[in-house]
Amino acid sequence: MSPRIIDAVASARNITWATELTAVTLAALHPTEEEVASGSTDSDSMKIKQDWIQSWKSGGWGSVDDLGPDIAGDVVGTLLTTGSDNDHNIYAKFRMPCHPALMKASFGLEFLTKCTEKEARAALTQRGFTYRSMRDALEGLVLESTERTKKGTKRDKRCWDVGDSLDRVLARATTIQLDGDETTMSHVIVPIHEHLAHSLNANSKLVSIDNEVLLVATRDIEAGESITRDYTLAPRIDGDDDDELTPLQLLLHFGLPPSAWPKAKGDESAASD
């Protein structure tokens, strides 16, 4: 990692794989003039990486369409950046446990995934905490913020870009063992692998050999069969300690629809899209 990434990550309130991967993503999108001039990164490779990252159009569940037309602005402005640590005090006088956008989203997730409203709210709050723990440290990596219809200060818009990147990183990240070293694990996002359907009986895995990461079949794949990955092997954010990857997590973090969820506990396969 470059010095500016290291410095940014080091100043975060909670340094995790999500902090590091979000910082690397932002720095790739926003190289400094010095980095470009020094040629520290091949310009063609840099452009390919930027185009790939910019193709990440969404993260997990929680677009404006998911929340309904009465929730204005970007999803990052509702599910991630609202609901501060003190919101339970602010909204208690209105007999609400949290920010209205988070409360509405938790009811939606309760209905869709059959979890409890309390479980959904806790998952949303934890994702929001993950964002806030890195927001101030990483917003300086955003050199030119994304144009938005939502009004805000320049700093607000940089923070929303941090939230957007985190949301998309959480939906795509995986864990890989490096070069056969069982003690060395890395968190990465790999082209093609990020698009695969979910199955508990996945037919592919990532293998690191020297400087290459390969997607290899783990069994014979029938003609017309989807190539799948097991999302239960994806890294978890701090505070997400469930033993199983539930429909709530599959929808909230990865945006995987009901057709991708295990049909019943103990089912060894899941439908694919």
- Element spanning 35, H or E: helix 33-38
**Enclosing domain of residue 64:** 1-173
Residues 6 and 119 grouped into a single domain: yes
Domain's final residue, options 173, 190, 221: 173
Decide if 108 is inside a domain: yes
Which residue matches tokens 């996945």?
202
What is the C-alpha to C-alpha distance for residues 61 and 250, in angstroms, rounded to an integer?
Answer: 9
Asked whether 10 and 19 are in contact (CB, 8 A), the reply is: no
List C-alpha distances in Å: 174 to 187, 188, 193: 6, 6, 9
Same domain, 227 and 118: no
pLDDT of res. 87: 67
Is there a domain that residue 269 lies in?
A: no
3-state secondary structure of 254: helix
135 and 226, same domain (yes or no): no
| Closest listed residue to residue 267, CA positions, set 249, 245, 251, 252 | 245
Q: Say yes or no: 28 and 97 in one domain.
A: yes
What stretches in the chain show pLDDT beneath 70?
Answer: 39-41, 63-87, 179-183, 263-273
- The answer to the question of residue 267 being in a domain is no
pLDDT at residue number 273: 40
Same domain for 88 and 184, yes or no, is no
Residue 91, in any domain of the structure: yes
Q: Residues 4, 41, 176, 205: what is their CA dihedral angle, to the nearest 10 degrees?
A: 150
* Rounded Cα–Cα distance for residues 167 and 169 (Å): 6
| 202 and 168 both lie in a single domain | no
- In this structure, the answer to whether residues 205 and 156 fall within a common structural domain is no
Q: What does the pLDDT read at residue 188?
A: 92
Q: Does residue 271 sit within a domain?
A: no
| In a shared domain, residues 140 and 130 | yes
Is 218 found in the same domain as 200?
A: yes
> Among residues 173, 192, 225, which one ends one of the domains?
173
Do residues 162 and 190 share a domain? Answer: no
What's the pLDDT at 137?
97
For residue 85, the surrounding DSSP H or E stretch is none
* Burial of residue 225 (number of CB atoms within 10 Å: 0-12, 13-18, 19+): exposed
Same-domain status, 114 and 168: yes
Query: What letter would DSSP give residue 197?
Result: E
Same domain, 89 and 168: yes
The number of folded domains in the chain is 2
Q: By three-state DSSP, how is residue 221 classified?
A: coil
Contact between residue 9 and residue 15 where contact means Cβ atoms under 8 Å apart: yes
pLDDT at 80: 64
Domain boundary among 152, 173, 194: 173
